[in-house]
Amino acid sequence: MSIATKRIIVGGAFGLVFLLFVSTYACAYSLYGQTDEYGIVHLSTAPRDGLVLIYEGKNKPTLGMAAIRKLIKKHGGEAKEMKKEWIAEHVPAQLLKPRKGRPFPKVKPSAKILKYIDASSKRHKLDPELVYAVIEQESGFANFAVSPKGAQGLMQIMPETQALLGLTEPFDPARNIEAGTRYLRWMMDKFKHVKLALAAYNAGPEAVSRYNGIPPYEETRYYVARILSRYAMLKGI
């Protein structure tokens, strides 16, 4: 069964599990956001460095991108200086224009992206569901995503890691997925366990070696747990 087919099967289950999770702890749903200097919107349901709280309520919000941008600006999460020349050169205009009625979140990777995931995963002997879960967590399949720390593209690869991997076009989907998958394979070979490989992908292999396990960073622990949970859903475990 292809990953595209599995996406359809598990999508409903994932949504149900998420709703049950929210209702169990149900006091509130929080949404954090930021617009960085490149004009890229970053969103999270958990606190992260640089992100400000833009929504808190009992119900999951349905927000279009225009509303999200307004809330981020209102709460002081928009970068003071924007690199407009970079934005004009690298980011397609349609990604900057608000889409009316677009619910949040709504991830729909294209058939090409799924094909790149399958091909790179096969090449580097990784489960495509794992690579899919990493990309979903890293960028939400936003091809031109740039993190506050400078990580770029679908698999959010830092410039120094790009140099190590020989990646010269981080916003090219095929090249980014190929490089990120290859790097994840390196981490798997180094640490021999998927949990440690994911921790190394997020926090760096030095941190995993230093702590002889998953580093005690809240972000990294959340990152590993979130991906493994999604991976299990995609695999139907």
Crossing angle for the helix pair 3-24 and 128-139, to the nearest 10 degrees:
50
The Cα 55–Cα 151 span in angstroms is: 26
DSSP annotation of 214: S
Q: Token match 């927000």: residue? A: 63
Between the two ends of the chain, the Cα-to-Cα distance in Å is 14
The Cα 195–Cα 52 span in angstroms is: 29
Does 178 participate in catalysis according to the annotation? Answer: no
- Strand-strand pairing, 52-57 and 41-44: unpaired
For the chain, where are the alpha helices, taking DSSP H only?
3-24, 65-74, 84-90, 93-96, 111-123, 128-139, 159-165, 173-191, 194-203, 205-211, 218-235
Beta bridge partners of 43: 33
Of 69, 71, 73, 67, the closest CA to residue 100 belongs to: 67
- Among 138, 169, 218, 219, the active-site one is 138
Catalytic sites, residue numbers: 138
